[in-house]
Structure 1
Amino acid sequence: MEKIASKLTDSIYKNNPALTDLELKKIKFGLECFLSEISKILIYFTIFRIFSLTKYFLLALFPFMTLRAAAGGYHEKTYLKCLINSFILMFTIVLIGIKTGLPMYLKGIFILLSLAFIIIYAPVDHYNKPIISKDRRNNLKFTSIGIFILLVLIGIFLGGKLGNTILASVFIESATLPLGYYFNKRK
């Protein structure tokens, strides 16, 4: 992904040589992230489609990505580790959603733990893109809480396997926050 992003960034620079080094680094980082995410989603989509679990995969993916966009979370250091661990997370979410009849008390525990993780840790930034502004940090925290509330309400309203998948997605993403907080720091 880094090589592809570098080539694309070089092409962008050739068409716009007025870009600064910082702007080029931001463009390259953004392209790396975009290409990594798109390629992972396509691979996962293909795998879940083979097993006729596309609907549950999408129901796991969208809440996960929506909350993660504001709250952040744990990041692996390499693309391959990220690909494998993200697949394990998505598979776990889908499995919880379709194979377990989450009792109400367990849903309550998922919701309370998720909220606690968000309040305590969100937003968890990436070492390549730290959140410096206190206002931005506060806005992301409140946005994370708002997204959390919306997703939980949707999960409860839908109920059954669909609702369980959404609630599992919210819980698993929230559980990446303390991991990211403690392990994403570059030494």
Structure 2
Amino acid sequence: MIKIVVNRMDRYFQKEFALGEEDRQKLRYALEIILNDCSKLILLFLVFSLLDAPVNFLYCFLTLSLLRPFTGGLHFKTYTGCILFSGAFFYLSIFLADAIPLDFSGAVIFFLFSGLTMLSLAPIPAKTRPVHPPGKILKFKCFSMVIISFHFFMCFLTNKHPYFIHSIWVITLQSIQLFIGKGVLIYEKQNSNLEKNNGHAL
């Protein structure tokens, strides 16, 4: 369905503006990202509405939307895999926020863990995106630190407002996701090198 909409919009823009091939590919990529994200948001919102947690879902979604562009994370090849993982991620964020009380010492531990993770591992971009230059990577790390520092600080300044309680769990789980994402990259690189070595041996 999304590809059909993208194809129609692509034909429209091509007809109206006569885009070059490079601009056309960029437009198609942007349209696919926007439509995929919008459709996932709507579907997940409906699911969490049925679970009587639409506001908590929006809290978690907002925090992740602010943070993920600068940190990256796990990426899935299929739409189904992506939405299932996203649903599990948000459900776990909501469950932990409701099930485990967050005190000051726990928040400090989460902040230190998340900060060190962002500084050492972020960003982990999708394979379809170009490798960022060192200067841009540094900016992403700095933006990530500003975002997580703001949320942890505001959590106690606002006397643990529900949004900031959920955001801390989202940030912590996102940090864990970066560890998993880095492990996946290392595993894939090792497999790729092994296949090349085997190919040379043959």
- C-alpha contact (below 8 Å) 1:56/1:94 kept by paired residues: yes
Structure 1, unaligned runs of 5 or more:
none
- Whether 1:24 and 2:24 are equivalent positions in the alignment is yes
| 1:75 CA displacement | 0.9
Instruction: Tell me how large the CA RMSD over aligned residues is.
Output: 2.0
Which structure is richer in relative contact order (CA contacts within 8 A, separation 6 or more)? 1
| TM-score (norm. length: structure 1) | 0.89
- Change in CA separation of 1:152 and 1:178 when aligned onto 2, cut-off 3 Å: same
- Whether 1:120 and 2:143 are equivalent positions in the alignment is no
| 1:160 CA displacement | 6.0
Instruction: Summarize the alignment of residues 1-187 of structure 1 with structure 2, pairs less than 5 Å apart.
Output: 1-17=2-18, 19-158=19-158, 159=160, 161-183=162-184
| 1:156 CA displacement | 3.1
Query: How far apart in 2 are the matches of 1:16 and 1:162?
Result: 43
- Change in CA separation of 1:91 and 1:165 when aligned onto 2, cut-off 3 Å: same
1:102-128 deviation digits (Å, cap 9, x = unpaired): 344332332221111100111221111
Higher Rg: 2
| Alignment: residue pair count | 186
Amino acid at match of 2:137: R
Query: How far apart in 2 are the matches of 1:117 and 1:6?
Result: 39
- 3-state secondary structure, aligned to 2:131: coil
1:28-51 deviation digits (Å, cap 9, x = unpaired): 111111111111111111122223
| 1:85 CA displacement | 0.4
- Change in CA separation of 1:77 and 1:42 when aligned onto 2, cut-off 3 Å: same
| TM-score (norm. length: structure 2) | 0.82
- C-alpha contact (below 8 Å) 2:48/2:57 kept by paired residues: yes
Query: How far apart in 2 are the matches of 1:124 and 1:45?
Result: 26
Amino acid at match of 1:180: G
Counting aligned pairs with the same residue, the percent is 19
Query: How far apart in 2 are the matches of 1:102 and 1:132?
Result: 36
Structure 2, unaligned runs of 5 or more:
193-202
- Change in CA separation of 1:69 and 1:84 when aligned onto 2, cut-off 3 Å: same
Query: How far apart in 1 are the matches of 2:9 and 2:177?
Result: 31
1:117-160 deviation digits (Å, cap 9, x = unpaired): 10011122111112332222221111111111112222333416
- C-alpha contact (below 8 Å) 1:72/1:125 kept by paired residues: yes
| 1:83 CA displacement | 0.4
